[in-house]
Chains A and B, each alone.
Chain A
């Protein structure tokens, strides 16, 4: 295979190879250089110092567990047991979790695995297995610690406060109060709050109550009572959450569908084969560009000034932005239709409206539906963000829960719900798309 190759061709091939080699190295190098510039401009080094990984630990812990505060006021001697330390989760008088016992002024808290905390008149004691007894007594109002030396680093001693952190729980003794936190897995009070008569009952007991048990509230059936207790759960607010999700989906649905309905006739005006007047066509197109270019964010801000917060504001904002996107897509689809069908309909004496209805719409319907359904799904996500700005729907609940910076179990709950909602809308729109387009 030694045919003579013209030197010009060899040169050309070699040059082309060299160019390609240069490109293969130049592109990754450019990307890496850009990322390096971005890392510097985003101050990645500073970020590592600012990052609060203890916050991440709190957050992850709250995702799967809850803590119960057992607090004694050192001045009045009053004992309070509250889930997450919230008023909504405070045990009512005379009711305590089974790991807290009181007799007179002595309170015993069993943290499990031999860890026992005792509050009494003399002060407080924490028995840690494998270490010994941590004994704290107030002297002139200040806590004084007696514990086996050397004091390990999980006990921190301050002038006014002694705190102990163990795997079984956290304990802190300050001048005004002594507190013990116990961590347990799960989302407590998810079904019923402590003041509900159904709290702490097993599934079997609940079933028995719902079907055969005597009425707790003579005015209504036990099942109805149960549902209303669940729906109005003060801790998790299931009723509000369901409404919020519904509002978010409503925003997406109304916005998308309204945009499609408005954009369809406007799309005809912007298509070359339906609108011969060039100036008019260009004007409609510029309107589409404007609607799309002024971002959803800006529309949301402007509209929430006029209509106030709520789902309608969000729906209108989505509708306006998407009218621009749909208008552009529909007019492009209209320009690509097959004219023969329209001519066929025209030959039967159809007027322009009938030509559009029977000659054009059936052709663009699949494209149109596919786009609308795709946007419906993606707008469910946008509606979450818009909700956070205009104040409506699950986005608002989520941002509120995050801003308080302590209800992380609720944040986790909302996140799960949002992901489920989006996935559900995704499969719903996919299913409808297959059904309508293949079947049609």
Chain B
């Protein structure tokens, strides 16, 4: 039992004839490692910030007093035009709905792909156990490609609009959810599947009737979390590419002064939507996961 206390290092055992000395020695060594790590971390951070500051167009200390200038400018203009605000909020609701639609469709399609991929990549459940590494690596690859890369390339081929964003987010979602789904499915109870197999169910029936009911609450919870992430991603993709409220934000920003009330309206809509979705999904996720444990 003594060995366990001194960690996994098998070869190096402290001299137990003098316990006090051995203990102090261990503490000293631990402190030294901790100290070295701390110094390393601090110097990495300091040099990193210094380098980032130097390669930035504007310096940190020059910029710091100006951080509030832009919000102040925007807000003051919006305040003088505050009568427009309700109208503007209403005006951008369709764009907001488009952004939400992009996120929802992408999450749905991605989750459907992830369901198939994850079951095919889970040990014990896979249809073709030899192909598990293939499906795993393909999920890794899907996860690794940032949405913006796919979106920009697809905009070139398919033209602007929401579809490139949907495809880009769906592909990424497929990879990201696939991994999480597969981790959940790994812990599924295999007995119902054996039962189904004994009555002659084929693979898809075993999965549909034996696995999905077990994992559905957790999968749904991950799906909701992903939807929340995808709403943000779809707003950003709109800003870089085309479609949805992000694009309108970019147009209003490029116009600059005179349309700051629109900027504020869009900011407000985005903020409220994200907070609302965050709250709702948090609530339901708690419910789902708690329900699953009962």
Contacts and interface: CB of A to CB of B under 8 A. Distances in A.
A associates with B: yes
Interface string B33-66: 0000000010011001101110111111001101
B53 A312 contact: yes
A76 B154 CA distance: 41
A419 B141 contact: yes
Contacts, number: 178
Contacts of B267: 294, 298
B200 to A, nearest CB: 21
Interface string A286-322: 0001001111111001110111111111010000000
Given A38-B105, A41-B98, A258-B45, A308 B67 contact: no
Contact of B105 (A35, A247, A289, A439): A35
Interface in B228-272: 232, 235-236, 239-240, 246, 249, 253, 267, 270-271
Main secondary structure of the interface of B (DSSP, over half): helix
A307 B55 contact: no
B278 interface: yes
Given A295-B270, A419-B145, A312 B45 contact: no
B232 A254 contact: no
A10 interface: no
Contact of A309 (B56, B105, B141, B146): B56
A384 B253 CA distance: 21
A395 interface: yes
B144 A311 contact: no
Interface stretch (B18-26, B125-133, B160-168): B160-168
A42 B156 contact: no
A47 B155 CA distance: 11
Interface string A258-281: 100000000000000000000000
B158 A50 contact: yes
Nearest to B94: A41
Interface string A125-154: 000000000000000000000000000000
A381 interface: yes
Contacts of B246: 297
B148 interface: yes
B157 interface: yes
Interface residues of A, number: 64
Contacts of A415: 145, 149, 153
A402 interface: yes
Contacts of A391: 57
B290 to A, nearest CB: 15
A43 interface: yes
Contacts of B41: 257
A371 interface: no
Interface in A388-418: 388-389, 391-392, 395, 398-399, 402, 405, 411, 415, 418
A302 B145 contact: no
Contacts of B236: 295-297, 385, 389
B232 A297 contact: yes
Tell me if A's interface is mostly helix, strand, loop or mixed.
Answer: helix
Interface residues of B, number: 60
B214 interface: no
Contacts of B221: none
B240 A42 contact: no
Contacts of A375: none
Nearest to A253: B48
Contact of A402 (B66, B156, B159): B156
A292 to B, nearest CB: 7
Contacts of A258: 45
A195 interface: no
Contact of A293 (B51, B71, B271): B271
A31 interface: yes
A1 interface: no
18 contacts: A31-B108, A38-B104, A42-B105, A42-B163, A43-B161, A50-B159, A50-B161, A55-B157, A59-B153, A296-B236, A297-B232, A302-B70, A309-B57, A315-B49, A385-B146, A388-B148, A395-B148, A411-B153
Interface of A: 31, 34-35, 38, 41-44, 47, 50-53, 55-56, 59, 247, 250-251, 253-254, 257-258, 289, 292-298, 301-303, 305-313, 315, 381, 384-385, 388-389, 391-392, 395, 398-399, 402, 405, 411, 415, 418-419, 422-423, 426, 439
Given A50-B159, A307-B60, 13 more contacts: A51-B158, A51-B159, A56-B157, A253-B48, A295-B236, A297-B232, A301-B253, A302-B70, A312-B55, A313-B56, A398-B149, A402-B152, A426-B140
